[in-house]
Chain A
Amino acid sequence: MIARVRDGVARHPVLSFFVFFAIFPFLVPYQALATQVLIFGLFALGFNLLYGFTGLLSFGHAAYYGLGAYGTGIALAKLRVGSLWGGLAIGVLAAVVGGAIIGFLCLRRRGIYFAMLTLAFAQLLYFIGFHLADWTGGDDGLRGIPALPIFVPGVGAVRLHTSTAFYYFAFVLVGLAVAALRRILDSPFGAVLQAIRENAERAAACGYNVRRVRWLAFVFSAGFTGLAGALDALRLSVVPIESLYWTTSGQAVIMTLLGGAGTFFGPFVGAGIFLVLEERLSAITESWPLVIGAVFMVFVLFLPKGVWGTLLARLSATPAGK
């Protein structure tokens, strides 16, 4: 039975995603948590494409998350773009353009420099966001994002005012992103990514333009992350300045490692663990980041594959599938 489920999930990951998350809101204590798991899972998924599948550790994914959130927020609240699709597209585009520029600069240095550079550029965007208060709301955050209905071809305008409606709206978009990730990883490009992660020199010797492939992975990763930020802006109808702060980048790192870097569903598992931990701990103690930090250290030391990765390794004698 377990083996059949395991093989089914391994063979049809996108279908598994849709089946599981279709009933997910009924499995958790309250629906807001389900929506958060979707959005933060997508955020971690974007990070994981770069870290888990390409081997590049970014400490600056708050930049693309924030660009997505502010892009969508500014489009809807300040530029008065009348369409939710338009707002989302602008947010994702902002993240992709930002990722293309910052990725180009960061990839001039590899290894450990890369992490520091991504962190530094994200901090640059944070300070810019902080000082451009006319556009971003500065320290107060961007407020007044209107809750527009979404226009679906063939159906008409759908209002997203209930949490259930918003959950399934996010469910469809995150599901499409998951399908896109599957498509990317299954393509020859995806194979090259993983080849570079395993051995960049050999991939270069095989004739692949390693820097260009890494740059493309960076841009894709920024795009997924930007969509997560854009969705979160719609969920909260406000963009706090912390979206761009380095702690947000740290969240993606923590969630991905708790779940399992380089695994397909690890980011969602990690997002769930992180959010439940955060909620439970913050009810008990103000110092919950201390516990999260300690748990994270234990994972780095003793469970580097994360919960999902370890589970996969346990379930199969052969190396973990996707």
Chain B
Amino acid sequence: MADLTLAALAAQVFTGLVLGMILVLLAVGLSLIFGLMTVVNFAHGSLYMLGAYFGFFLLGLTKNFWISLVVAPLLVGVCGLVIERVLVRPLYGRSIDDPLLLTFGLSLVLVEAARMIWGKIGLTLDPPPALAGAVNLGFSAFPLYRLFVIGVTIAVLVALWLFLEKTDVGLIIRAGSRDRLMVRALGVDLGRIWLLVFGIGTALAGLAGILAGPMRGVYAEMGVTIVIESFVVVVVGGMGSLLGAIVAGILIGEVVSLTTYFMPKLAEIMVFVVMAVVLLVRPSGLFGEAGLME
């Protein structure tokens, strides 16, 4: 076992927080899409992967990380709009399992397409020079880029919260998650709202992908494990609850990071142990309401 110093432990907690941020971005997108239209997007991990590859592509094109950071998620969001419009929309009104099945097929296609276009060998995405190096946090040095990831995620979450709570469209989204029939009866065109929310959710996945790229590498299968982990986050946090996704995302990130430190072999397994315990003790998740959205 590594020597147990407070500084090393604190650094590990910080690393967990960074992983947690990536999971939160993915889980919030999943949860938002599910909450409004009861669609589980299995291809969410593939869109995360696309975000990283688009980032790589744009970085090669523009040589500017900041432009790539903004444009890559937008491009993924546009992919999301197309997916909702062309593939998912025909399935509304059918079994709740059908969109899940369809996006499962889509994830096979996207992963394989990425392999064809960008090759089987993983790529590296360099953080910009301004974010290279480390900062001294007092207890230990910590890579500046990772602090940046935490900052960006918090900013995006605050913006999302303001959008959902303070704007008219946000009000419709929240109302639509509660009672879609009533919102329709009030004369709101929910179809456009669904399109928008699918775009936002997938753009968040793309953002998570380009943010994770410099830390975890860019490869076609990068979305597979993490999308299963973000499913776990959604189950632990409670589906449809944004606060639940945030708390559970950070929790799972810390669990992975700390078990990697103390018992590396158990790191992947502990995630599922936490999930099983939550299921036994609180089946609806930490912040979920029992019976909602089943």
Residues of A within 8 A of B (CB): 51, 57, 59, 105, 108-113, 115-117, 119-121, 123-124, 127-128, 131, 246, 250, 253-254, 257, 287, 289-290, 292-294, 296-297, 300-301, 304
Contacts and interface: CB of A to CB of B under 8 A. Distances in A.
B225 to A, nearest CB: 8
B98 A304 contact: yes
Contacts of A287: 112-113, 115-116
B228 A123 contact: yes
Query: Main secondary structure on chain A at its contact with chain B?
Result: helix
Interface of B is mostly: helix
A112 B268 contact: no
B112 A293 contact: yes
Contact of B234 (A116, A246, A289): A116
B129 interface: no
A212 B116 CA distance: 47
Contacts of B100: 57, 112, 115
A115 B40 contact: yes
Contact of A257 (B101, B115, B275): B101
Interface residues of B, number: 45
A88 B232 CA distance: 33
Nearest to A302: B90
B109 A297 contact: yes
Given A112-B38, A112-B293, A290-B113, 17 more contacts: A57-B101, A109-B284, A109-B294, A111-B96, A112-B34, A120-B272, A121-B272, A121-B276, A124-B273, A257-B101, A290-B109, A290-B116, A293-B109, A294-B109, A297-B106, A300-B98, A300-B101
B101 A290 contact: no
Contacts, number: 113
A304 B34 CA distance: 22
B97 interface: yes
Given A105-B276, A108-B279, A127 B269 contact: yes
Contacts of A246: 224, 228
Among A128, A287, A290: residue with most chain B CB under 10 A: A290
25 contacts: A57-B97, A57-B100, A108-B280, A109-B283, A109-B284, A112-B34, A112-B100, A112-B239, A116-B232, A120-B275, A123-B228, A124-B273, A127-B268, A128-B269, A131-B265, A131-B269, A253-B101, A290-B108, A290-B109, A290-B113, A293-B108, A294-B105, A296-B105, A297-B106, A300-B105
Contacts of B279: 105, 108-109, 117
A124 B109 contact: no
Contacts of B98: 300, 304
Contacts of B113: 287, 290
B269 A124 contact: yes
B113 to A, nearest CB: 6
